[in-house]
Amino acid sequence: MLELYQFKHSPFCLKVRLGLNAKKLSYRIIEIQPGVGQVNIFRLSGQKKLPVLKDGENVISDSTSIIEYLENITKESPLIPNNPKEAAIAHVIEDWADTTLAKAVRLELIKAVATDSSLREALLPEDSPRSLKSLVKTLPFDFINGITEVIHQNESQNLIKSLDKISNLISSNEYLVGDGLSIADIAVSAQLSFLKFPYSSGINLTNKGCPGFSDNPKLQRLFKWRDDLEQHLFAVDPALI
């Protein structure tokens, strides 16, 4: 059976889970503890980032390489379009999501966590002791916010503009590229999780996220598109969303 080594809330790990589910592959998840757990990941894969996929003797790191590997082991639901022009566009959108978008959403989440103690608490693993949860809730994070505010105001506006444009791509089409699910859809929707957590992040986090994004009317179509995609791939009961 395929084994996915992951961090619970990592968008890159979510991207791979979406890919595995799209391809209807069975897999086992192994949750890794940041820091200590990464020592074993380094031994296994020669680098310390997650996701890492293990398929028998084969160990693959990097979400893009993992999806390419999955493309090679099954013909089910190709995520790289057959049409070379569409494949090129899907690749560029995936690359943008994995780099520019990933960096921007990470900064937004850091900023949100600095000001929102309930978000901070919800991000802790579900089995964390209550004493740790209440400690994390009360820590004074506000000082970080002063710094990120300065770096960040323009970047937030640019991110909203880019997402608004991406949202236009799905105004008349279910998918970002062509008429089928592709690597572009799963890469973008996975990164959106830090802005507004999806159902798959667990009950404590669902719909929480970054102020100015999770509650931004301009972005709701995009979040709904992401939720529909997750509902389809993870077979979520719509009543629960």
* Binding stretches for ligand GSH (CB under 6 A): 7, 10, 12, 38, 48-51, 62-64, 98
| Smallest distance, ligand GSH to C-beta of residue 95, A | 10
Candidates 72, 67, 36, 35; CA nearest to 51 is 67
| Smallest distance, ligand GSH to C-beta of residue 102, A | 7
Nearer to ligand GSH, 71 or 228 (CB): 71
Instruction: Measure the CA–CA gap between 14 and 63, rounded to whole angstroms.
Output: 9
Nearer to ligand GSH, 80 or 241 (CB): 80
- List residues bridging with 52 in a β-sheet: 5, 61
| Smallest distance, ligand GSH to C-beta of residue 124, A | 17
Nearer to ligand GSH, 8 or 221 (CB): 8
> For residue 224, what are the CA distances in angstroms to 83, 141, 214?
27, 31, 11
Nearer to ligand GSH, 100 or 167 (CB): 100
Instruction: Measure the CA–CA gap between 143 and 206, rounded to whole angstroms.
Output: 27
| Smallest distance, ligand GSH to C-beta of residue 55, A | 16
Instruction: Measure the CA–CA gap between 210 and 212, rounded to whole angstroms.
Output: 6
